[in-house]
Amino acid sequence: MTEPPRPPGEGNPSDPTAPFNPYTGNEPTSGSAPPPPPGAPQPPTYGTPPPSSGAGGYPPPSSGAGGYAPPPSGGYGPPPGGGYPTGGTPPQYGYNSGGTDEDKTWILVAHFGGAAGAFFGGGAAGWIGPLVALLARGNQSPIVRQHAVAALNFQLLWTIIAVVGYALTCILIGFLPLIAAVIMGTVFGIIAGVKANNNEPYQYPMAVSMIK
């Protein structure tokens, strides 16, 4: 019995020379792009994360165009506005506003106590108040020590002058240095105390650094 004729282009299913494809659903349809040949790179798929650093990842930015520039030669300079503090000493006898109320109390004891000792002690006892402040608070507070040492050096100088004046009273001229010691120790002690109370710097005149 003869087989009816087939349309043009349709193969013979019973032809043993025709290639056999068991997966007919994978065959490309008419008008679609052909699949890539074996071994060719596959196109990227959406939704996959970018490659991480390391082998196959993004290289770090170089120092060229678009990269991070290296630090300038010699390092970074000081910040604007004067640079870093040089560690210089604060005003010699000005009260530091960073001190506590107790520090300020002992600072006033050093100055006003020296003035009171010079007045009531005849010029020879002005060193007592600064010495008490130095021993009581000087080891705990550097700012109190500064003021106490400054007042003590000033009052010691005029205490020595007063003692010399007492020794020379027998020849009458000793009253002059004695009166000068009382006036200087009292007046400048009060001025220093007022300046310290107002947070203003002050330096005793004619002071000798006998105590460091």
What would the mean pLDDT of 94-104 be, rounded to a whole number?
71
The predicted pLDDT at position 127 comes to: 94
Question: Which band of pLDDT confidence, cut at 50, 70 and 90, is reported for residue 130?
Answer: very high
User: What was the pLDDT predicted at 60?
Assistant: 56
Is residue 49's pLDDT more than 80?
Answer: no
- Residue that the structure tokens 């007022």 belong to: 194
**Cβ proximity of 141 and 103 under 8 Å:** yes
pLDDT of residue 134: 95
* Residue-wise pLDDT tens digits, 66-98: 555 655 565 555 555 544 444 444 444 455 545
The Cα–Cα gap between 108 and 202 comes to 13
- CA contacts within 13 A on the Cβ side of 138: 19
pLDDT value at residue 211: 80
Q: Please, which pLDDT band fits residue 140 given cuts at 50, 70 and 90?
A: very high
pTM of the predicted structure, to 2 decimals: 0.53
pLDDT interval class at 59 (50, 70, 90)? low
- The string of pLDDT tens digits covering residues 161-193 is 999 888 887 777 778 888 899 999 999 999 999
